[in-house]
Structure 1
Amino acid sequence: MPLTDLRQYIEALRSLGEIQDIDAPVSLNLELGAIIRRCNETGAPAPLFKAFSDHPSGFRILGAPGGASRQAGRQLVRVATSLGLPPNSTGQDIVEAIAGSLDLPPIDPVIVDDAPCFENVRTGDDVDLNLLPVPLIHHGDGGRYLNTWGCIVARTPDGSWTNWSIARMMLVDGKRMSGIVAPQQHVGMVAKAWADIGKPMPFALALGVEPAIPFICGMPLPDYVNESGRLGALLGRPIKTVRCRTVDLEAPASAEILIEGHLHLDESVQEGPMGEFAGYVPLEPVMRRPVYRVSAISHRDDAILPVVAAGEPVEENHTAWGIPSAAQILHDLRAAGLAVTTAWMPLQAALHWLVVTVPRDWRRRTGIEESKALCEKIGKTIFATKAGAVVPKVIVLNDDVDPTDTDELVWAFATRCHPFLGHANFDHIDAAPLLAYLRTSEKVSGATGKIVYNCLPPDEWGEILPIRASFRHGFPPEIVDRVKQRWGEYGFR
């Protein structure tokens, strides 16, 4: 059965050993964030907090909703379960499923008359964001962050494009929030369209939605593509939405908490810093960001707020942003006529690496003769896309390497990458300002240098590859099978 709300998802994870109920009261002031961070870094089950020492009862918090698992063979069980795939799906399985759906026609959402989030509704003067359990997640954060895993709904003034996205939102006071609204990001583009006609942008923030939605919100789809329709194509069914009470928008009907209001680009407050996907709390001076003014808060009884504690891998930026980004890039590379087996953003590289693998006969399939020329075309294709704007370093390997296996990837990069020959360098390319190593001038300009590491064999080898001295590659298949079958007979567990 499809998982159409957060509570169904939690029970599915519970049956898979991926939920840890926490009944002991926990402080929203750093303790909760520290628990989530430790769960991220150890692969522990997702913590479900039921009581808080510094906030009244009536709400729960789910931490690490899309994090990685320590279960053998099921590292991505939360990702796979969220997307309706088998729990033992590999990274390559998930990327292929998402990439394949991009060629399917969209399935647009359907509007329903009512939703459980309207069990409790506050509008106007009754609005108070402080009634929600908003945590201080990291030591060094500039404030408490309400939105770390929610779906922001925005629509252009002409109604032609409805965008779903994720972006951090910090609590300012009982009726205001603030966060990054980058002009090159989709929510920034929609907000500018409203500002151009002299109006604030209506928005809805749906928190605690059905589990697949954050993954499409984190996917860098092309401009003017509706995320809701693409998610419908991936799941093979329409997403249910419901009309908001105070703005002319439809939001996911599965929301545990629904916040409505308007984004004012002409009003700003200090926002941040916040621990982010690269694994650091930035040292830059506090920035002024636009203000979200809230006109309505609705929530279910005993509502559940999902919380992501961004930082060192692996956390949801690396799964819900990195994996869909790899799928989009894989689709784009294939559409450009490149023979690509897979694309993968290694979770431990915190969105700073992308690996592209190609078959040994890539010359015959592409008509490109030199490996450097192939790397140059791969780089030009990737860096011209929205998904590629984040990626600063691309690694190109033969597809005998599994890029989702970090041990294998490190070995292959170390032994196949020439120190200075064959790489494709790109100057002054668009870059995400949150990349960890950027200089101040690069952050201000939004551009930096990027590279495609050529880890393919020397061109003089042709299609010949050396035999790998490993169990999987270094023995005849019948010997590999025999050893696997007799493993217990040898005395191994």
Structure 2
Amino acid sequence: MSEITDLRAYLSELEALGDIERISREVDPKLEAAAVTRLSTERRRPAPFFENIGGVAEGFRMIGAPGALSSSPGHPLARISLSLGLPHTTTAAELVAHLAQAGTKPPLPPRRVDAASAPCKQNILLGEDASLDRFPIPFVHQDDGGPYVNTWGVIAARTPDGRWTNWSISRVMMIDGRHMTGLVLPSQHIGMVWQEWEAIGEPMPYAMVQGGDPGIAVVGGMTLPAGVDEVAYLGALLGKPVDVVPCETNDLVVPASAEVIIEGHLSASRDAVEGPFAEFHGWALPETSPQPLFSIDAITYRDDPIWPLAAAGRPVDDSHVAPAAGISAEVVTILREAGLPVTTAWLPLGAACFWTVITVPQNWREALPGMDTARFVHRIGEVLNGNRVGRLSPVVYVLDDDVDPSNDSDLLWALGTRVHPYLRQEQWYGPIMPWYPCFLEEELHRGWGAVVVHDALLPAVGSGRVPQASFDGVFPADLRARVLADEAVAPNA
């Protein structure tokens, strides 16, 4: 595998896997590109690469579903794995372990390089020329409030005192060529940064990044702890710093290899109406909200730029994969830091990341002598309830690690046969996220509800646990060896 330093090298790797579908016919950025992308994600097809976008200058291109599940047989996480410098064969457990380990490494700040030779500076638009009208801004869903500039790009923002620079994904809607608006929720990191600018009554400088090192969008879509600089975390994750250059009109830095950079300021008050927009939970809710106004001061871009498009909706698409991996890694980290034995964690993608599944070693009782399953799971709930990331999923299941939580067949069997219909569960009340339609309207309005933690652990080995009725569970070892040897000689004979 060659080193992936930008979106173009990443797409070359996907194409080598057969995970890119080039579309040369003209495609309309209003709904058609998103419809093709949406169908691609639902059918697990290769990522659509639109080479001929209608209504814009020749050379402008678009890539759909760059962070969704891969079409590569047996390797659904190939896109996110390659984005983070890992082999395309990486499993969910390996991905979570890698991310959890990266969180223990010292951050590696970005490296400034010569702006004059940076690809993102090949074309520079300032003032009135800095307009979105020349770009293929996608209209994603038919009932959206407008075209959405940002679906898989990262917004860079910094606190007024400079102590924290946040790079995160948040949806942003086009109002006209020079103005946008987007979700800036108090619970989001961009909202936390913006509130500091609001408090001093000054507009917040921002830079919106489309394209670049593919790991930037993946990390921007994760839920790292507040105060963590995503670009420095990504440097530690990759083992090398991200190359950056300064913006044209503010003191933020941006990836040198980015496809498009939009610079400007975010108003210190909520002056615009954002939405509606169909979201990751799979529902096209007719919601709008007052949000700050993004003004555009400059746009820089590469020759023949490639605009990334994520068509959010029913699972599984880009809006599920990166958050699932990032949250799972954080869950593993906080539980292990609390001294609890954990094998892995995973947010099942088909459940729109509304569930967290935690698996523990089958010999966990050796590490926690005298503790029964109820107390063990209570302790897990206690740790999760005391941490922001632990309340990001309204339902938590604790299972033995004889099942793979990323395997839907394994998971459904385990949930169906090990979860009691109404016993062995605890409700932990506290803050809830505003985007979960499974809660009551009153709960969402108050921002307060329950996270339910299910004890689905089996009895101890030798104390009532029965073997699985599977190939590995109910046949003698010598017979299994002969059958496997015969299969290897004459597979599917």
What TM-score, normalized by structure 2, do the two folds share? 0.96
Q: Which amino acid aligns with 1:470?
A: S
1:26 corresponds to: 27
Question: What is the CA distance between 1:367 and its match in structure 2?
Answer: 4.5
Cα-to-partner distance string for 1:270-298 (whole Å, 9 max, x where unaligned): 111111111111133x2221111111111
Task: Give the distance between the partners of 1:490 and 1:243, measured in 2 at CA.
Answer: 61
2:319 corresponds to: 317
Cα-to-partner distance string for 1:415-455 (whole Å, 9 max, x where unaligned): 0111122111112x222211132222222222221101111
1:228-239 equivalences in 2 (<5 Å): 228-239=231-242
Question: What is the CA distance between 1:332 and its match in structure 2?
Answer: 1.1
1:250 lines up with 2:247 in the alignment = no
Cα-to-partner distance string for 1:208-240 (whole Å, 9 max, x where unaligned): 121111121122121211111211111111111
2:417 corresponds to: 415
2:112 corresponds to: 111
1:54-203 equivalences in 2 (<5 Å): 54-114=55-115, 115-203=118-206
Task: Give the distance between the partners of 2:142 and 2:484, measured in 1 at CA.
Answer: 48
Q: Which amino acid aligns with 1:415?
A: T
- SS state of the match for residue 70, structure 1? coil
Query: Are the equivalent residues in 1 in contact too, given 2:202–2:268 (CA < 8 A)?
Result: no
1:337 lines up with 2:345 in the alignment = no
1:240-389 equivalences in 2 (<5 Å): 240-284=243-287, 286-367=288-369, 369-389=371-391
Cα-to-partner distance string for 1:353-388 (whole Å, 9 max, x where unaligned): 110001122233135612222222212222332323
Query: Are the equivalent residues in 2 in contact too, given 1:150–1:209 (CA < 8 A)?
Result: no
Q: CA separation of 1:83/1:3 partners in 2, compared to 1, >3 Å: closer, same or farther?
A: same
- SS state of the match for residue 212, structure 1? helix
Task: Give the distance between the partners of 1:376 and 1:368, measured in 2 at CA.
Answer: 14
Task: Give the distance between the partners of 2:58 and 2:463, measured in 1 at CA.
Answer: 65
Task: Give the distance between the partners of 2:105 and 2:482, measured in 1 at CA.
Answer: 42
Q: Which amino acid aligns with 1:246?
A: T
Q: Which amino acid aligns with 1:185?
A: Q
Q: CA separation of 1:99/1:479 partners in 2, compared to 1, >3 Å: closer, same or farther?
A: farther
Question: What is the CA distance between 1:267 and its match in structure 2?
Answer: 3.9
- SS state of the match for residue 266, structure 1? coil
Q: CA separation of 1:234/1:440 partners in 2, compared to 1, >3 Å: closer, same or farther?
A: same
1:444 corresponds to: 445
1:37 corresponds to: 38
Q: CA separation of 1:386/1:218 partners in 2, compared to 1, >3 Å: closer, same or farther?
A: farther
2:405 corresponds to: 403
Query: Are the equivalent residues in 1 in contact too, given 2:385–2:428 (CA < 8 A)?
Result: no
Task: Give the distance between the partners of 2:491 and 2:216, measured in 1 at CA.
Answer: 46
Q: Which amino acid aligns with 1:104?
A: K
- SS state of the match for residue 225, structure 2? coil
Q: Which amino acid aligns with 1:113?
A: D
1:10 corresponds to: 11
Q: Which amino acid aligns with 2:129?
A: D
Cα-to-partner distance string for 1:228-282 (whole Å, 9 max, x where unaligned): 1211111111111110000111112221000011111314211111111111111
Query: Are the equivalent residues in 1 in contact too, given 2:27–2:52 (CA < 8 A)?
Result: yes
Query: Are the equivalent residues in 2 in contact too, given 1:23–1:49 (CA < 8 A)?
Result: yes
Q: CA separation of 1:116/1:368 partners in 2, compared to 1, >3 Å: closer, same or farther?
A: farther
Query: Are the equivalent residues in 1 in contact too, given 2:19–2:71 (CA < 8 A)?
Result: no
- SS state of the match for residue 128, structure 2? helix
1:470 corresponds to: 470
Task: Give the distance between the partners of 2:269 and 2:142, measured in 1 at CA.
Answer: 30
Q: Which amino acid aligns with 1:454?
A: D
Task: Give the distance between the partners of 2:196 and 2:330, measured in 1 at CA.
Answer: 26
Cα-to-partner distance string for 1:40-60 (whole Å, 9 max, x where unaligned): 011100110011233332310
- SS state of the match for residue 213, structure 1? helix
Question: What is the CA distance between 1:477 and its match in structure 2?
Answer: 4.2
Question: What is the CA distance between 1:336 and its match in structure 2?
Answer: 1.0
Question: What is the CA distance between 1:395 and its match in structure 2?
Answer: 0.7
Task: Give the distance between the partners of 2:228 and 2:409, measured in 1 at CA.
Answer: 37
Runs of 4 or more above 4 Å deviation: 461-464, 488-491
Question: What is the CA distance between 1:186 and its match in structure 2?
Answer: 1.1
- SS state of the match for residue 292, structure 2? strand
Question: What is the CA distance between 1:463 and its match in structure 2?
Answer: 5.8
Question: What is the CA distance between 1:491 and its match in structure 2?
Answer: 5.9
Question: What is the CA distance between 1:112 and its match in structure 2?
Answer: 1.1
Query: Are the equivalent residues in 2 in contact too, given 1:319–1:347 (CA < 8 A)?
Result: yes
Q: Which amino acid aligns with 1:484?
A: L
Q: CA separation of 1:478/1:92 partners in 2, compared to 1, >3 Å: closer, same or farther?
A: farther
Q: CA separation of 1:70/1:332 partners in 2, compared to 1, >3 Å: closer, same or farther?
A: same
Question: What is the CA distance between 1:464 and its match in structure 2?
Answer: 5.2
Q: CA separation of 1:479/1:98 partners in 2, compared to 1, >3 Å: closer, same or farther?
A: farther
Cα-to-partner distance string for 1:101-143 (whole Å, 9 max, x where unaligned): 1111111111112121111111112121121101111122111
Question: What is the CA distance between 1:146 and its match in structure 2?
Answer: 0.9
| Structure 2 gap segments, 5+ residues each | none
Cα-to-partner distance string for 1:438-487 (whole Å, 9 max, x where unaligned): 2222222222211011111258x776531001123333444334323322
- SS state of the match for residue 271, structure 2? strand
Which is worse superposed, 122-131 or 36-45?
A: 122-131
- SS state of the match for residue 265, structure 2? strand
| Structure 1 gap segments, 5+ residues each | none
Cα-to-partner distance string for 1:309-352 (whole Å, 9 max, x where unaligned): 01111111111111111111111111111110000111111010
Query: Are the equivalent residues in 2 in contact too, given 1:76–1:90 (CA < 8 A)?
Result: yes
Question: What is the CA distance between 1:178 and its match in structure 2?
Answer: 0.7
Question: What is the CA distance between 1:83 and its match in structure 2?
Answer: 1.1
Q: CA separation of 1:309/1:154 partners in 2, compared to 1, >3 Å: closer, same or farther?
A: same
What TM-score, normalized by structure 1, do the two folds share? 0.96
Query: Are the equivalent residues in 1 in contact too, given 2:392–2:433 (CA < 8 A)?
Result: yes
Which is worse superposed, 189-198 or 32-41?
A: 189-198
Q: CA separation of 1:396/1:51 partners in 2, compared to 1, >3 Å: closer, same or farther?
A: same
Q: CA separation of 1:192/1:227 partners in 2, compared to 1, >3 Å: closer, same or farther?
A: same
2:215 corresponds to: 212
1:454 corresponds to: 455
Task: Give the distance between the partners of 1:132 and 1:270, measured in 2 at CA.
Answer: 22
